[in-house]
Structure 1
Amino acid sequence: MAFDTPAPRAMPDVACERGPEVSGRLERVGMQRIEALLRLPLADGSLRELPARIDAFVDLSVSEARGIHMSRLYRQIDAALATQPFTPALLHALLQGFLRSHEGLSSRAMLQVNLDLPLRRAALVSSHSGLRHYPLALAGSLKRGGALRLELGVAITYASTCPCSAALARQLIAERFAQDFPAHAPLDHAAIRAWLGSEQGMVATPHSQRSRADLRLRLAADVLHWPIESLIDRAEAALGTPVQTAVRREDEQAFARLNAANLMFCEDAARRLQHALDTAPDIADFWLRVAHFESLHPHDAVAVACKRVPGGYGADDQSLALT
């Protein structure tokens, strides 16, 4: 039995048929946290398929227009991610498409992708390894007739041991040593070694805490690939104490040694990252914030730094939204 296909009928489009109740330009109109699946190219040439959340916006520069065409943004994103890896070039093409589809309504387009990138990280000493998930933000903005602005955000989790606390602990250990081994008594090598390895010899320990660095980077507009892994490696090497995955006792001991060799206030951590990013290729500007989630206080110790490029990021800028 054949069924007749109903003829298309006109449907109301209130956004186009009526003007706004109150006129005015809007800086951003669009959608936030669009559920998506994208293929991210990695440094080894592989593609990693990852779930993501996408924010897509244009401005509404016509005061008398009631709204934009949000479905046009969504369809462009969905079609592009279904067939192409998410490269800086694809992001640029999407922003250009946003503006073309809103000709006469919008002069700026913005897109941000948030995702977690799992990377396998080797243990410090043993042959074990495990996955670390790095929160990422990949973003771009484009003005009609202007240049592309590309940004990359990443969060790095690391350990920080307080230099002041370490000095105070060393002082107590030295005082306890003077009590247990008086100056007038002969020193016995075996006894001292045993004392150093005992709880009695460890009369105080410095406090340390898990810490986090949020990095916001403006990339050169002509980059072909996201420099994600090289950036993470550079930042973790500068800090010296990235958190670990699978560990055996030898790895934990090596981690303790690294913490002792990398005592740092939040100011030290910020300056280490500042120096590392100053010399990183493909990074035109940066803003960073480190937060030490202190074990001594109920509040965090925080430091912010930027590259100080004229017209670039300032101290009052905020990081890309990283979860």
Structure 2
Amino acid sequence: MHSHENTARLLPDVAVQAQPHLAGALDWVGMDGIEVPVRFDAGDGSIERASAQVGAFVNLTRPDKRGIHMSRLYLLVDRHLSANPLDAATIEALLRAFLESHHDLSDRARLSIRFDHLVRRSALRSANSGWRAYPVSIEASLGADGFQLELGTEVVYSSTCPASAALSRQLIQEQFARDFDAGKPVDHAAVMAWLGSEQGIVATPHAQRSVARLLVRLADGVGFNLISTLDRVEGALGTPVQTAVKREDEQAFALANGGNLMFCEDAARRIQKALDADPRIADFHVRLEHQESLHPHDAVAYASKGVPGGYGSAG
């Protein structure tokens, strides 16, 4: 009876069989959608566990080699990410392990990690709170240009159109002129009743759910602080979507929308200013999408920090 070791040596391995008619170097080879648990500190000191999808890749520099060692990448992902909290050091160590395991085949490695992180958010007025799931993406690479790390997430918010608000106000003024004779004294009680009626407020501005997709490159030595970045962006916008909502919270949200009228260009500049003031962020790229309720298409704007050779120069 053969030992496990002896049996393994007898297993065929067609990957080592060269195919000269198909020789060529490859940019990236690996796996995507690897399922693995990760532990992540979003900046509040609490390490939370999440179910992640991971992509693990190396390049293939040897034209004469048919493929890479997929199982080595998988086992390294499992070993490193299951045992250690996500931080820059863990990710860089994993990429170095990728290259060490393929020292004769590869000189570049790449890793992507995608998961959702839950953050507890308080209501605007009531004592309630609820959970918001923010998508997190981490992209990292290691090669001749060194170690690169990027953090991505999304902020969902409400945007009320300034043009629509102005047009609505004009219609309300015109309705007031029709309902109240300019030559007669205005009765305070009548005006109050009119303002609280559908007859008085004949038009309302359109608003839409909007999404800001953020990609940030952190300064050297800075740890992940997702919550700080989210707070900064949501504070700049003023109208992030809510979780638990009672009537007083909904009214407060309506007030916030009225005080934060914005085109997508306005929202982009608000976020640009907020992130530009964060010393932890070396560069950033933002894509804003206002999912129009007036049009069947979306209004879109992009913004970046403007670092020479950074995101903005990539177009």
TM-score by length of 1: 0.93
1:150, 1:220 within 8 Å by CA — same for their partners in 2?
no
1:305, 1:315 within 8 Å by CA — same for their partners in 2?
no
How do 1:94-173 and structure 2 match up within 5 A? 94-144=94-144, 146-173=145-172
How far off its partner does 1:233 sit? 0.6
AA of the residue aligned to 1:22: L
Q: Which residue of 2 aligns with 1:197?
A: 196
Deviations for 1:49-99, whole angstroms, at most 9, x for unmatched residues?
A: 100100111111222221111111110010112221111110010011111
The yes-or-no answer on 1:44 pairing with 2:44 is: yes
2:136, 2:152 within 8 Å by CA — same for their partners in 1?
yes
Distance of 1:57 and 1:5 partners within structure 2: 33
1:304, 1:315 within 8 Å by CA — same for their partners in 2?
no
How far off its partner does 1:168 sit? 0.2
How far off its partner does 1:108 sit? 1.0
Distance of 2:24 and 2:269 partners within structure 1: 44
Q: Which residue of 2 aligns with 1:180?
A: 179
TM-score by length of 2: 0.95
Moved more, 151-160 or 7-16: 7-16
How do 1:148-297 and structure 2 match up within 5 A? 148-223=147-222, 225-297=223-295
SS at match of 1:289: strand
How far off its partner does 1:241 sit? 0.3
Deviations for 1:274-318, whole angstroms, at most 9, x for unmatched residues?
A: 11111112211111100001100111110011122111113655x
Deviations for 1:164-205, whole angstroms, at most 9, x for unmatched residues?
A: 000000000000011111210111111111110111111000
| Pair 1:129–1:182, CA change in 2 (3 A) | same
AA of the residue aligned to 1:148: F
2:18, 2:64 within 8 Å by CA — same for their partners in 1?
no
Q: Which residue of 2 aligns with 1:320?
A: none
2:305 aligned to which of 299, 304, 307? 307
1:138, 1:151 within 8 Å by CA — same for their partners in 2?
yes
Distance of 1:21 and 1:75 partners within structure 2: 31
AA of the residue aligned to 1:298: P
Distance of 2:90 and 2:126 partners within structure 1: 40
Distance of 1:101 and 1:220 partners within structure 2: 29
Unaligned runs of 5+ residues in structure 2 are none
| Pair 1:40–1:60, CA change in 2 (3 A) | same
SS at match of 1:18: coil
Distance of 1:23 and 1:247 partners within structure 2: 61
2:36, 2:82 within 8 Å by CA — same for their partners in 1?
no
| Pair 1:300–1:316, CA change in 2 (3 A) | farther
Of all paired residues, the percent bearing the same amino acid is: 55
AA of the residue aligned to 1:186: P
SS at match of 1:21: helix
How far off its partner does 1:4 sit? 6.7
How do 1:21-32 and structure 2 match up within 5 A? 21-32=21-32
| Pair 1:73–1:133, CA change in 2 (3 A) | same
1:150, 1:221 within 8 Å by CA — same for their partners in 2?
no
Q: Which residue of 2 aligns with 1:60?
A: 60
Deviations for 1:131-164, whole angstroms, at most 9, x for unmatched residues?
A: 00001101211104x4211100001100000000
2:57, 2:111 within 8 Å by CA — same for their partners in 1?
yes
Aligned length: 313
